[in-house]
Structure 1
Amino acid sequence: MQSRPQSRPQSQPPPPHPRRFAWASRNFRIQTAATVISGLGNAGAPIATAFAVIGNGGSTTEVGYVTAARLLPTVLLLVIGGALADRLPRHHVMVAANLFSGLSQAVLAALVLGGHAQLWQLLVLSAAGGAGYALYAPAAEGMILKSVPQEHAARAFSVFRMGQNASQIGGAALGGALTAAVGPGWVLALDAVCFLIAAALRFFLEAEAAPVAAGTSMLRELREGWREFASRRWLWVVVLQFSVLVACVGAVESVYGPVVAKERLGGARDWGLAMAAYGVGLVVTGLLMVRWQPRRILLVGNWGVFLFGVPALALAMAAPLPVLAAAMFLSGVGVTVFGVNWMVALQQEIPAEMFSRVCAYDHLGSLSLAPLGIALAGPAADTLGLSGALWACALISLLLSAAVLLEPEVRRLARRTATDSPAAPATEPAPIP
């Protein structure tokens, strides 16, 4: 009997290839795009503001006062911004803050372009920009932390920071070039336009329910956020470190850097190139952090903090532009290494309904001394000399980076894996030798 030929099995279509960014939610994509756009303007605005003061005959001390005027309302209003972001839909808070910041920058640009900007006007409008940031920052951080699943957190935060930091390259270079070519007013106008575009994008974010139940008082919410913040030793120790560190770095980047660039280098153009090198360091390291997921997240993050003081060393030694650019590049590397690991730690350890309030206390503590430090940057340079003040900033940065490693929770805080129980402690029992 003749056997029938066996039919060939039909070939099955290959399974669909998963999209590379399938983990990126709509809110994540919109928030990242809006952050890149607003970052383009923000990167150039500090350069433009500093040279607007210098162009009007202002001194180093006055540059410090204008920068401090932006930071002071930020410090005073951050906790209010955090409570609002946990009480109201976060995208509404961000849109309102962006619109306010855009309008204040537009008024500042008009005054600078008209040649009528007086010191008190620069102070008031810089303060308005700081108030807008205080309302925006806690809502933005809460939104981005909640927009991705924890198993993809490191990858998502690396991509987000790459986009955020890539805008530093174009923004700083464009800001420095435009300031040198057509004056600071046009850079401030560009910043205003970027804020308005970012507000329009954030209007399309998907609405989320307010994390805090209606009927609770704002004072109670702030107390709950403070208890959450203060109960985690690793959190407040690092924030305490950054309260001094940010003041030193702010004085270097906002006051001493532009002054050194004007006196010893090529002015706004060269300082813009140095800031662009900082941005390159941010982006290149972001590519690394997409794949690198260290176990000890804060220990590794703090090794990046050691690089924060390198630009002050280069400026103190009157280094030429290539060396200064290399120092700024290394600083950018350190910022991204710390920043990605810090965001992973916050998402892993802080309850979602507390994100914005805890982030507000984080920002508040980190910026608390910045207005004073930047306001005193000019008097410190008058007393110690410009090089002496820069050496002091560099030394303080290095000492703080070493001191925070004395805290065991900073050394031990570990990344949770997919097999870890959510209730499992994230710190390991044995200290690192």
Structure 2
Amino acid sequence: MAAPSAPPIVPPPAEQPSLLRDTAFLRLWCGTTASGLATWALPFVLGLAVLDRSLGATGLGVLLAARTAGFLAAVPVGGVLADRHSRRAVVFWSGAAAAAATPLIATGQGRSMLLMAAAAAVVGAGQGACRPAYQALTAEVVDAARRRQANAATSLSVRVTTLLAPGLTAALATVLSTRTLLLLTALLWLVSATVPPRGRHRTPPAPERESVLAEFAQGVREARRHPWFLAGLAALTTVIATGYSATGVLLPLISRDRYDTEAVLTAAMTAYTAGALAGAALLARRSPRNQGWAALAGLACYGLAPLSLLLPVPALVVAGAYALAGLGIELFNVPWFTAIQREVDPRLLARVSSLDFLLSYGLAPLGLALIAPALDGFGPTGVLGACAVLCFLAPAAAALAPTARHFSREAPRPPANGGGPRPG
């Protein structure tokens, strides 16, 4: 009787190289971080200009409105161009445009509000065009198995900069003028334009091209193929337009009037950033099995922020609620971006990402505009209560959508060892 043959030896899967040793990712990470820091820095530096009376409050409003208008106008166009041409080229030209326009804001300061507003619109356009291009470039530079870690690392860098940059910028403002700080912001945009690596995108032949509007409509049709995306985007837009807007306006007022100190405002925002850092660090190591439901549950946590402002609770409770809100927003952000990069047709990825940014960020100014009349009609308690309810209900409703459980049209296969976190 023949001896049974030995079972085949299956080699263990090759260990993925660390992202920290991936030069292409590090260049992408540096560019994305510079872009995020430059985006944050402009309104902060302009706020410092208001404090030193080199810019009025009305002028600040005009410049921020012009930047927002440029952003909204450029996001869909940038998404189409990033799918039509090299994503790396779109990142370069959008960053270069913002880098060139930022010094004009400094030049016009105290001389020409029209020049400053036009330059701010160009900076906003550069910011808007680079957002979807960076999302698509990440999918080209980083393989699918490591995109969750890559998105988590990017989120970590954004949160660290927003935590440390205000103090650093304020310290620099004691020795540098706001014009000089604006020029430093231009250098950040220059880094964003020049540092990122090339991707693998291949430009389609010219005869396949249509108008920008028609090609953006192709991205909308692709988005409609993914029920989880439409439901998640509706929930995200609701939370930003209501919860973010209400707490952004009312937290400073409540900190001043109820607690008679600005320390509550500082503690809440610091706790929010610390929570977000913890969320990004957690998702860099582990991924929940039902990542769509877990992400939407994290998004719903933002409802704790307006809820904590409803009643005169201790300041520590407010800080704790904001910490959980920050944790939850990163539990949503990282799986959300990773799922878009995984599920969407690569040829249409930038357009779908631009739809994401256009709605989630685009409706935020509308929410802010409605807060004042809502406060007059219903008072802070009514507004905060309604916003908290919407922040809880919108993600819960999105979780009922088909394919929302995993942010995927196909259920993931169980891991080979029968347990542990789902990869990727």
Fold agreement, TM-score > 0.5: yes
Q: Hey, what's the Cα distance between the residues in 2 that align with 1:116 and 1:327?
A: 44
What is the correspondence of 1:4-15 to structure 2 with a 5 Å cutoff? none
Q: Hey, what's the Cα distance between the residues in 1 that align with 2:174 and 2:370?
A: 27
| 1:40-98 Cα shifts (integer Å, max 9, x gaps) | 34334444445656866648xx9777655433333333221111001111112112211
Task: Name the counterpart of 1:92.
Answer: 89
Question: Among 126, 135, 139, which residue is 2:129 paired with?
Answer: 135
Deviation at 1:388, TM superposition (A): 4.8
2:303 is equivalent to residue 303 of structure 1: no
2:237 is equivalent to residue 240 of structure 1: no
Deviation at 1:139, TM superposition (A): 0.5
Q: Hey, what's the Cα distance between the residues in 1 that align with 2:116 and 2:303?
A: 29
Deviation at 1:353, TM superposition (A): 1.7
Letter in 2 for 1:312: P
Q: Hey, what's the Cα distance between the residues in 2 that align with 1:109 and 1:382?
A: 37
Letter in 1 for 2:27: I
Task: Name the counterpart of 2:10.
Answer: none
| 1:84-134 Cα shifts (integer Å, max 9, x gaps) | 00111111211221122233333334555xx5685x676555433321222
Scaled by the length of structure 1, the TM-score of the pair is 0.77
Deviation at 1:32, TM superposition (A): 0.6
Letter in 1 for 2:192: A
Letter in 2 for 1:214: A
Deviation at 1:148, TM superposition (A): 1.7
Question: Among 72, 75, 86, which residue is 2:72 paired with?
Answer: 75
2:188 is equivalent to residue 213 of structure 1: no
Q: Hey, what's the Cα distance between the residues in 2 that align with 1:394 and 1:100?
A: 39
Q: Hey, what's the Cα distance between the residues in 2 that align with 1:143 and 1:384?
A: 45
Secondary structure of the equivalent of 1:78?
helix
- Contact 2:19–2:150 (CA under 8 A) maintained in structure 1: no
2:364 is equivalent to residue 377 of structure 1: no
Bigger mean CA deviation after superposition, 313-322 or 399-408 = 313-322
2:149 is equivalent to residue 152 of structure 1: no
Letter in 1 for 2:412: R
What is the correspondence of 1:383-402 to structure 2 with a 5 Å cutoff? 383-385=377-379, 388-402=382-396
Task: Name the counterpart of 2:103.
Answer: 106
Q: Hey, what's the Cα distance between the residues in 1 that align with 2:311 and 2:115?
A: 35
Structure 2 residue ranges without an equivalent (≥5): 1-13, 417-421
Deviation at 1:336, TM superposition (A): 1.1
CA, structure 1 residues 105+215, in 2 after alignment: closer, same or farther (shift >3 Å)? same
2:405 is equivalent to residue 411 of structure 1: yes
Question: Among 324, 340, 344, which residue is 1:346 paired with?
Answer: 340
Deviation at 1:333, TM superposition (A): 0.9
2:39 is equivalent to residue 42 of structure 1: yes
Letter in 2 for 1:335: I
Q: Hey, what's the Cα distance between the residues in 1 that align with 2:380 and 2:202?
A: 49
Deviation at 1:325, TM superposition (A): 4.0
Q: Hey, what's the Cα distance between the residues in 1 that align with 2:176 and 2:264?
A: 15
Letter in 2 for 1:306: A
Q: Hey, what's the Cα distance between the residues in 2 that align with 1:99 and 1:24?
A: 28
Q: Hey, what's the Cα distance between the residues in 1 that align with 2:358 and 2:307?
A: 27
Task: Name the counterpart of 2:288.
Answer: 294
Scaled by the length of structure 2, the TM-score of the pair is 0.78
Q: How many residues align?
A: 397
Question: Among 181, 189, 194, which residue is 2:188 paired with?
Answer: 194
Question: Among 193, 204, 220, which residue is 1:226 paired with?
Answer: 220
- Contact 1:247–1:374 (CA under 8 A) maintained in structure 2: yes
- Contact 2:243–2:303 (CA under 8 A) maintained in structure 1: yes
Q: Hey, what's the Cα distance between the residues in 2 that align with 1:66 and 1:309?
A: 30
Task: Name the counterpart of 2:24.
Answer: 27
Q: Hey, what's the Cα distance between the residues in 1 that align with 2:104 and 2:219?
A: 35
Secondary structure of the equivalent of 2:206?
coil
CA, structure 1 residues 260+47, in 2 after alignment: closer, same or farther (shift >3 Å)? farther
Task: Name the counterpart of 1:367.
Answer: 361
CA, structure 1 residues 342+18, in 2 after alignment: closer, same or farther (shift >3 Å)? closer
| 1:353-374 Cα shifts (integer Å, max 9, x gaps) | 2211111122223234223222
Secondary structure of the equivalent of 1:408?
coil
Structure 1 residue ranges without an equivalent (≥5): 1-16, 421-425, 427-433
Q: Hey, what's the Cα distance between the residues in 2 that align with 1:109 and 1:259?
A: 31
